[in-house]
Amino acid sequence: MGLRNALVAPIVKWLGHCKAIRSLPLSDFHRIRDELRLCDVILVEGRSRASEVIKLITQSPWSHAALYVGRISDIEQPELRRLIAKHVGPDCDEQLIIESELGLGTVVRPLSVYREEHLRICRPTGLNRHDARQVLAYSVRRIGTLYDIRQILDLARFLFPWTILPRRWRSTLFYHGAGMPTRTICSTMIAEAFDAVAFPIVPLVKRIEGNTVKLFRRNPLLCTPKDFDYSPFFEIIKYPFLDLTTHSSFCLVPWHSDLSNEPEALSLSKSQLGVYLPDPESGSEGQFVPFYGRSSHNGSGPAAR
């Protein structure tokens, strides 16, 4: 076990390396913080190397999911309050989340650790108070379990076109007892919590006769963060950093349009050029000119040909 940990530790450290934080986050953390309710699922667009792997595997920008707990004082069950207080201290008054994180395992942490990240709320539609308490109880009792790196690899093999893989390389997620009961990943832990109260995420739906349908519960080991975003049973709540409702028209959004005497802070980097347009130019009548209708500054653009 010691040799295994010695081999895994540098891999975990490498996978956990994060890119720099955006200069301006895409979501309004303060409004998200005020909106959250018990058992909301918070999606995170992660910045680590592991997050980039998950994004590639799932073809989604969401690489991580966390379950919102609230403050200790908000939790009704005394036993759960005591269990959480052991990890964050009895005097903690911060809003808390439960998550399974690479290098940490399943932990309870302040919501504020994601203050600078791009976030989205997925709210389970119709989840009643009793079931929410059960979802919370399941998640709290999972605190301390380790992060299952093997499951990430198995998930990659499952989502990869299996017909071109040798049989010995294919996913073991469907095998009896696949994975370890003492290990989990972020979306699986949350999926199992909702499965404990039979709340659907992305079930298989079969029509029997007439309007009668039957739902089949999906294997929680196959759940990814994007499934909460895709699920018809979760309400999606977004709070972008720029609230368009404060403008009488989206046309009044403060697009950058002055190319003369451009300050360095507004210049685009090499990696941003071509991905982002420097300015949505306006015509002489003040109307927006599409990209392919613009005059080229260097005489080589589409309009100059």
Q: Tens digit of pLDDT for each residue in 9-35?
A: 676 677 677 788 877 778 999 999 999
Q: Compute the CA torsion angle 227, 232, 233, 234 (nearest 10 deg).
A: 60
| Sign of the four-CA dihedral 196, 183, 185, 39 | positive
- Least confident span in 79-93, 180-194, 246-260: 246-260
The pLDDT assigned to 34 comes to 95
The length of the chain in residues reads 305
The pLDDT assigned to 248 comes to 60
Give the start-end residues of each E strand in 203-247: 204-207, 213-216, 234-237
For 177, phi and psi rounded to 5 degrees? Answer: 75, 15
In-domain check, residue 219: yes
Question: Do 227 and 273 belong together in one domain?
Answer: no
- Compute the distance between CA of residue 35 and CA of residue 174 in angstroms, rounded to an integer: 38
- Given a contact cutoff of 8 angstroms between Cβ atoms, the answer to whether 109 and 89 are in contact is no
The pLDDT assigned to 262 comes to 61
Question: Do 103 and 197 belong together in one domain?
Answer: yes
- Given a contact cutoff of 8 angstroms between Cβ atoms, the answer to whether 93 and 72 are in contact is yes
Q: Summarize pLDDT for 185-211 with one digit per residue, the tens.
A: 578 899 999 999 999 999 998 888 878
Whether pLDDT at 304 is above 80: no
Please list the residues that pair with 223 across neighbouring strands. Answer: none
Tell whether pTM > 0.85.
Answer: no
Question: Do 135 and 271 belong together in one domain?
Answer: no
In-domain check, residue 95: yes
Highest average pLDDT, of 36-45, 52-61, 247-256, 273-282, comes from 36-45
Work out the pLDDT band at 77, boundaries 50, 70, 90.
Answer: very high
Q: Compute the CA torsion angle 156, 162, 166, 170 (nearest 10 deg).
A: 50
Residue 51 sits in a domain of what CATH number? 3.90.1720.10
Whether pLDDT at 59 is above 60: yes
Pairing of strands 146-147, 183-184: parallel
Q: Summarize pLDDT for 257-297 with one digit per residue, the tens.
A: 555 556 666 677 777 777 776 555 544 444 555 555 555 54
Question: Do 64 and 182 belong together in one domain?
Answer: yes
In-domain check, residue 3: no
Q: Summarize pLDDT for 105-120 with one digit per residue, the tens.
A: 899 999 999 999 999 9
Domain hosting 266: range is 255-296
Question: Do 175 and 50 belong together in one domain?
Answer: yes
190 or 3, which is more confident: 190
Work out the pLDDT band at 179, boundaries 50, 70, 90.
Answer: very low
- Given a contact cutoff of 8 angstroms between Cβ atoms, the answer to whether 183 and 151 are in contact is yes
Question: Do 129 and 174 belong together in one domain?
Answer: yes
Question: Do 136 and 273 belong together in one domain?
Answer: no
Work out the pLDDT band at 172, boundaries 50, 70, 90.
Answer: very low
Q: Summarize pLDDT for 117-169 with one digit per residue, the tens.
A: 999 999 999 999 999 999 999 999 999 887 665 655 555 555 555 455 554 54
What's the total number of domains in the chain? 2
CA 84 to chain centre: 23
Please list the residues that pair with 101 across neighbouring strands. Answer: 105
Question: Do 181 and 284 belong together in one domain?
Answer: no
In-domain check, residue 243: no
DSSP state of 56: H
Question: Do 57 and 96 belong together in one domain?
Answer: yes
Question: Do 281 and 215 belong together in one domain?
Answer: no
| Cα within 13 Å of Cα(11), Cβ side | 7
Question: Do 166 and 274 belong together in one domain?
Answer: no
The pLDDT assigned to 12 comes to 67
For 236, phi and psi rounded to 5 degrees? Answer: -95, 125
Pick from 216, 227, 217, 222: which is nearest to 171 by CA?
A: 222
Query: What mean pLDDT value characterizes the chain?
Result: 78
Whether pLDDT at 176 is above 60: no
Question: Do 124 and 206 belong together in one domain?
Answer: yes
In-domain check, residue 304: no
Work out the pLDDT band at 300, boundaries 50, 70, 90.
Answer: very low
In-domain check, residue 244: no
